[in-house]
Amino acid sequence: MNNENEALSGSTNAQGDQANNQSMEALLASESLNIDLPQAGEIRKGTIASISPNQILISIGAKSEGVVAGRELEQLTQEERDALKVGQEIDVFVIIPEDDNGNVVLSLKRALEQMTWENVEKMIADEVVVDTKIIGFNKGGLIAAIGNLRGFIPSSQVSQARRAQSSGDKPEQRWQKMVGQPISVRIIEVDRERRRLILSEKAANTESRSSLKDRVISELEEGKTYTGRVTSLADFGAFVNINGADGLVHLSEISYERVAHPKEVLEVGQEVQVKVINIDQEKKRIGLSIRALQDDPWKNRMEKFSVGQLVEGVITRLTKFGAFARLEGDIEGLIHISELSENRVEHPKEVLHEGDVKTLRIIRIDTDQHRIGLSLRKVDSAAFADKDFKLLTQDFNPQDDKE
């Protein structure tokens, strides 16, 4: 009887261990697809962990500290360095997501430089009318100050009333007398890379814009498709006017293909078809999508893959969290560090190198997020033996064997 109880207890414990292992594997698989990895060029919030003459360590919530050192540290003035304190929250610019020592290389100066552009992008997103003054001109139009940036107002975007004041063939004759005059403008294009800031006096002079947007929002329906016209471009997306009200097509909603800036595929004045994906009545914001009207090429390429399938992948990148592998058709998946080996691995470079070609097991497919979880340690797993056998027998043709 005691033996039976011990056997029953052992069986129960084994089942419990198996359930715990399965839960842990599910958790790790989930984590492997949701790691918030730093990306080169992004600005993050960080907390200063330590300050020394040679470097500043900053925690950015990426399971390791980022470092400001070398030339990036030298770019800070003594006044700027004296203002920094341990525990202070600060904006940082990611230069290298992971160097040879596993650190995230950061810059404070470049973050400071881009904060003005962040404010400008917020202005375009909120459709803010800026009251400023004309500080210069060129042959194409006027120049106005937006904070410490210079914005260009093309002659086509100067109000009719102001253009009526201009006369003469030369720029000096047309615009010189307007320098110093107040002007109200809206930002219609932002391009940080080219330091390009385009303004419009015409867009700011629409007095009934707010009431018009209220009416349009009440008439729009989520899920429906409308014809609109591109009114402005920014690093984060494009604004499209539908029936008199602007909606935002976020950069991620422009195309399934990678787009670094909306200017690559869109231009101001272009007519486009858009789908309304959300409406915020309280904030008076309209979310639009161009991508939603296109076929998703990722889903088409994924039709040949399934969970449990063995695939060949080329290791493209190693991080402290795992390794990325490129499969057939340029589809990339993540091998979480827990899926590299049955033994403990401190860093993927212990078992893999960039350029390695490996047989891998697909353990998860997230169609909505376009993510694939891969495993190296489960390639020979008994749990997938039946699936491997079926695929093997499907590929085997007895007639070929006779020949």
CA distance 269 to 229: 6
Has residue 116 been placed in a domain? Answer: no
For residues 198 and 136, state if they share a domain: yes
Contacts of 81 (CB under 8 A, 6+ apart): none
For residues 157 and 87, state if they share a domain: no
Has residue 168 been placed in a domain? Answer: yes
> Closest by alpha carbon to 168, among 205, 137, 135?
137
pLDDT range class, residue 27, cuts 50, 70, 90: very low
CA distance 388 to 319: 30
- 127 vs 62, which has greater pLDDT? 127
For residues 200 and 128, state if they share a domain: yes
pLDDT number for residue 44: 87
The two structure tokens encoding residue 56: 């500043």
Select from 226, 259, 293 the last residue of a domain. 293
Task: Give 193-213 pLDDT, tens digit per residue.
Answer: 888 899 999 888 764 456 667
- 75 vs 2, which has greater pLDDT? 75
Residue 368 has pLDDT above 80, yes or no: no
For the chain, how many residues are written?
403
For residues 217 and 141, state if they share a domain: no
Has residue 371 been placed in a domain? Answer: yes
pLDDT range class, residue 231, cuts 50, 70, 90: confident
pLDDT number for residue 355: 92
> Closest by alpha carbon to 287, among 228, 327, 235, 345?
228
Has residue 21 been placed in a domain? Answer: no
For residues 381 and 302, state if they share a domain: yes
Has residue 399 been placed in a domain? Answer: no
CA distance 326 to 263: 29
Task: Give 281-326 pLDDT, tens digit per residue.
Answer: 888 889 999 999 988 877 777 888 888 889 899 999 999 889 999 9
For residues 214 and 280, state if they share a domain: yes
In 195-214, which positions are buried (b, 16+ CB within 10 angstroms) versus exposed (e)? eebbbbbbbbbeeebeeebe
Average pLDDT value for the chain: 82
Has residue 159 been placed in a domain? Answer: yes
Has residue 402 been placed in a domain? Answer: no
CATH of residue 378 = 2.40.50.140
- 23 vs 97, which has greater pLDDT? 97
Residue 150 has pLDDT above 80, yes or no: yes
The two structure tokens encoding residue 55: 């470097």
The predicted model gives 49-71 an average pLDDT of 84
For residues 95 and 166, state if they share a domain: no
For residues 253 and 221, state if they share a domain: yes
The predicted model gives 21-34 an average pLDDT of 48
Has residue 353 been placed in a domain? Answer: yes
Say which amino acid occupies 44: R
Dihedral of alpha carbons 374, 379, 382, 384, sign:
positive
Contacts of 131 (CB under 8 A, 6+ apart): 182, 183, 184
pLDDT number for residue 366: 87
Q: Where are the beta strands (DSSP E) in 97-166?
A: 104-107, 129-138, 141-146, 149-154
Select from 149, 175, 204 the last residue of a domain. 204
CA distances from 64 to 31, 293, 348 (A): 16, 40, 16
Task: Give 243-277 pLDDT, tens digit per residue.
Answer: 878 899 999 999 988 899 999 999 988 999 999 99
CA distance 401 to 44: 60
For residues 304 and 230, state if they share a domain: no
Residue 41 has pLDDT above 90, yes or no: no
Domain span holding position 48: 43-107
pLDDT number for residue 273: 95
Select from 163, 189, 204 the last residue of a domain. 204
- Give the count of domains, the chain: 4
Residue 225 has pLDDT above 50, yes or no: yes
For residues 250 and 226, state if they share a domain: yes
